[in-house]
């Protein structure tokens, strides 16, 4: 039986516990690639990922492994992203698997994303194979961590391979475990085609390329297929597997993980989560797919001066193809013109999309202050979901103003508990309870307003715990809160793109902070520019940018020539990304800098 020798799995781990390193070692050990072909981190292929050192997009690869039992196995490794913002993508890849290798850093132990990922794997009914990594380090405590995994995660870990992914120690143990512990797929090969699209990308020659897990039946070139949710028909032009590049095959059958192309020109027709079946002999029922990703954070994205609206829309559509968590719809801003209101999983997701638009699509864009979705009940008992502060009804018409609350789990070493409690309190968190994970570490449960989490909360936890703290959160409920809309005025003109909804107790300090930031990033101009923060008509903070002295360059004469050069270069650089408001020029940087908390 063919499927007996297939294993479909993902590697799940808390960030930095060594998932990518282990993936590289597995690829190496299975000998599909030579040492020379091994780039540093094959699976982290996007530049951006390498720069940030995190895995964002899934990558899939097939490994051929000759096991101790003498049989040759096909191991399909599906990579998962490792950041708190991306649990949605994790569950996507897990849906294509029967098992998951859980990597735990033997010097660190169980972290917030370890728990979150195990939870997702459990939901999919996957077999979890724990692995202890970094045993080469003197501070590794594998025995203790095994106990911790058993107690906290609730799975047996006694025979977990103790490995060093970096040094390639005991990697075979992991491969053997995968073969022995993870069940083989067992879909009906003779049934009508039933395939899950778990990822996709756009290729300018082949059209949309669907990453698929064949659950039942088989598919080959020439087959007429139906995308069940999209209700669109296509003819298959190619099927194949990832090695990790694409390698065409004659046929993909039940249990296989690979790709399908079908000259799908419209990216919308190849939705991640959709089920592919035969057009003439459809399967009875589509696969459940997975929970729809809900955007938690919204912001406006506008073409910068000189960029085209259509190009931004095309780019967003392409990105959305394999990132269903990205949502967008057209909106207009008085200050910025035509653009899009976009929804993201979190602030990191937002930043990544922003950078991808700039790098992969070479677009200059302006992103407005991010916002969560508020719920407003008007005095006429109408309920409105507010994504954009500009759409807020007049304060006199608001009966109830509610904000989303998440339940956050924060794991920290004992000595940082005080720091974290202070941080959460400052961000309006309410502690639910606190438990000891082991003698050294604590897990704190907090109710937090999402509004306070999206601004750098994760970074704040990291910096207050010397990098040891970890965070995971999920939406809980809407709760009434004393919220107000704060506007920013530049030269007495309201810039709607800067408007935001804040808690009343935070308005003044936030307003002051933003005015100060803007003062720093908006270049001086020929006249004085007042910057004000206001709630309604009430000014709550102000700053001003003094007028530029005409002799700013003259001053450099006789002085340092490189300083002058720098100044001119800076001006040139600034020119590229300016936005004119009345007679004030605002650099794009200004829009970003108002987002950051301290």
- Residues in contact with ligand GTP by the rule CB under 6 A: 13, 15-21, 53-55, 82, 133-134, 136-137, 164-166
Taking the complex as a whole, how short is the minimal distance between the CB of residue 91 and ligand GTP, in angstroms?
16
**Separation of alpha carbons 598 and 396, rounded Å:** 33
Closer CB to ligand GTP, 82 or 587, in the complex: 82
Closer CB to ligand GTP, 21 or 253, in the complex: 21
Taking the complex as a whole, how short is the minimal distance between the CB of residue 370 and ligand GTP, in angstroms?
23
Report whether 204 belongs to an annotated binding site.
no
Structure tokens of 205?
């020659």
**Separation of alpha carbons 76 and 7, rounded Å:** 6
Structure tokens of 384?
């409105």
Report whether 134 belongs to an annotated binding site.
yes
Structure tokens of 138?
């003197």
Closer CB to ligand GTP, 13 or 442, in the complex: 13
Structure tokens of 37?
């072909």
Report whether 17 belongs to an annotated binding site.
yes
Closer CB to ligand GTP, 136 or 147, in the complex: 136
Angle between helices 417-426 and 457-464 (to 10 degrees): 150
> What value does the CA radius of gyration of the chain take, rounded to a whole number of Å?
26
Closer CB to ligand GTP, 41 or 593, in the complex: 41
Report whether 462 belongs to an annotated binding site.
no
**Separation of alpha carbons 126 and 132, rounded Å:** 19
Measured torsion, CA atoms of residues 64, 66, 71, 74, in degrees rounded to the nearest 10:
-20
**Separation of alpha carbons 300 and 342, rounded Å:** 6
Closest of 40, 128, 27 to residue 75, by C-alpha:
27
H or E element, residue 406: strand 398-413
Closer CB to ligand GTP, 18 or 389, in the complex: 18
Taking the complex as a whole, how short is the minimal distance between the CB of residue 17 and ligand GTP, in angstroms?
5
Taking the complex as a whole, how short is the minimal distance between the CB of residue 549 and ligand GTP, in angstroms?
48
Phi, psi of 562 (to 5 degrees): -70, -30
Closest of 177, 77, 84 to residue 127, by C-alpha:
177
Report whether 83 belongs to an annotated binding site.
no
Report whether 119 belongs to an annotated binding site.
no
Taking the complex as a whole, how short is the minimal distance between the CB of residue 246 and ligand GTP, in angstroms?
23
Give yes or no for a contact between 473 and 448, defined as CB atoms under 8 angstroms apart.
Answer: yes
Report whether 576 belongs to an annotated binding site.
no
Q: How many Cβ atoms sit within 10 Å of the Cβ of residue 418?
A: 11
Taking the complex as a whole, how short is the minimal distance between the CB of residue 11 and ligand GTP, in angstroms?
8
Q: How many Cβ atoms sit within 10 Å of the Cβ of residue 230?
A: 17
Closer CB to ligand GTP, 78 or 484, in the complex: 78
Taking the complex as a whole, how short is the minimal distance between the CB of residue 56 and ligand GTP, in angstroms?
9
Report whether 575 belongs to an annotated binding site.
no
| Residue nearest to ligand GTP as judged by C-beta position | 82
Report whether 18 belongs to an annotated binding site.
yes
- Residues at the binding site for GTP are 16-21, 133-136
Annotated binding site: 16-21, 133-136
């Amino acid at each position: 039986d063919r499927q007996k020798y297939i294993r479909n799995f993902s590697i799940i781990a808390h960030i930095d516990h060594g998932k990518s390193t282990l993936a590289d070692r597995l690829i190496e050990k299975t000998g599909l690639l030579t040492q020379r072909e091994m780039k540093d981190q094959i699976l982290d292929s996007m530049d951006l990922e390498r720069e940030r050192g995190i895995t964002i997009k899934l990558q899939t690869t097939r490994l051929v492994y000759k096991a101790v039992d003498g049989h040759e196995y096909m191991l399909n490794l599906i990579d998962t992203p490792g950041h708190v913002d991306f649990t949605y993508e994790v569950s996507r890849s897990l849906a294509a698997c029967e098992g998951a290798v859980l990597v735990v850093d033997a010097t660190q132990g169980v972290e917030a994303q370890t728990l979150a990922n195990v939870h997702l794997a459990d939901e999919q009914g996957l077999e979890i194979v724990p692995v202890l990594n970094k045993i080469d380090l003197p501070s590794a405590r594998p025995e203790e961590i095994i106990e911790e995994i058993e107690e906290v995660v609730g799975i047996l870990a006694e025979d977990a391979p103790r490995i060093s992914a970096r040094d390639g120690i005991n990697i075979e143990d992991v491969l053997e475990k995968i073969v022995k512990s993870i069940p083989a797929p067992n879909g009906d090969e003779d049934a009508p085609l039933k395939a899950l699209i778990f990822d996709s990308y756009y290729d300018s020659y082949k059209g949309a390329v669907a990453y698929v897990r064949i659950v039942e039946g088989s598919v080959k070139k020439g087959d007429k297929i139906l995308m069940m949710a999209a209700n669109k028909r296509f003819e298959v032009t190619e099927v194949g597997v990832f090695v990790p590049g694409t390698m065409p095959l004659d046929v993909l059958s039940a249990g296989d993980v690979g790709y399908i192309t079908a000259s799908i020109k419209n990216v919308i027709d190849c939705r991640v989560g959709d089920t592919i079946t035969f057009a003439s002999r459809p399967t009875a029922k589509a696969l459940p797919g997975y929970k729809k990703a809900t955007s938690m954070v919204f912001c406006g994205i506008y073409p910068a001066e000189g960029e085209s609206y259509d190009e931004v829309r095309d780019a967003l559509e392409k990105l959305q193809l394999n990132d269903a968590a990205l949502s967008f719809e057209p909106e207009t801003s008085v200050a910025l013109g035509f653009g899009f209101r976009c929804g993201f999983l979190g602030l990191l997701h937002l930043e990544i999309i922003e950078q991808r638009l700039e790098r992969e699509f070479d677009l200059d864009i302006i992103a407005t202050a991010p916002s969560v979705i508020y719920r407003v009940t008007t005095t006429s008992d109408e309920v409105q979901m507010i994504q954009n502060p500009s759409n807020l009804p007049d304060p006199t018409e608001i009966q109830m103003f509610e904000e989303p609350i998440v339940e956050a789990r924060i794991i920290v070493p004992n000595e940082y508990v005080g720091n974290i409690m202070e941080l959460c309190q400052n961000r309006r968190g309410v502690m639910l309870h606190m438990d000891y994970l082991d003698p050294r570490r604590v897990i704190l449960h907090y109710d937090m307003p999402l509004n306070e989490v999206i601004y750098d909360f994760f970074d704040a936890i990291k910096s207050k715990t010397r990098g040891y703290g970890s965070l995971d959160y999920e939406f809980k409920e809407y709760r009434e809160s004393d919220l107000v809309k704060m506007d920013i005025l530049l030269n007495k003109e309201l810039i709607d793109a800067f408007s935001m909804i804040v808690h009343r107790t935070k308005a003044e300090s936030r307003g002051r902070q933003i005015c100060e930031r803007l003062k720093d990033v908006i270049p001086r101009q020929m006249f004085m520019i007042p910057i004000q923060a206001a709630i309604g008509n009430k000014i709550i903070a102000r700053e001003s940018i003094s007028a530029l002295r005409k002799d700013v360059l003259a001053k450099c004469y006789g002085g340092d020539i490189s300083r002058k050069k720098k100044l001119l270069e800076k001006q040139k650089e600034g020119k590229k990304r300016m936005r004119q408001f009345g007679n004030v020029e605002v650099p794009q940087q200004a829009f970003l800098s108002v987002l950051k908390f301290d």
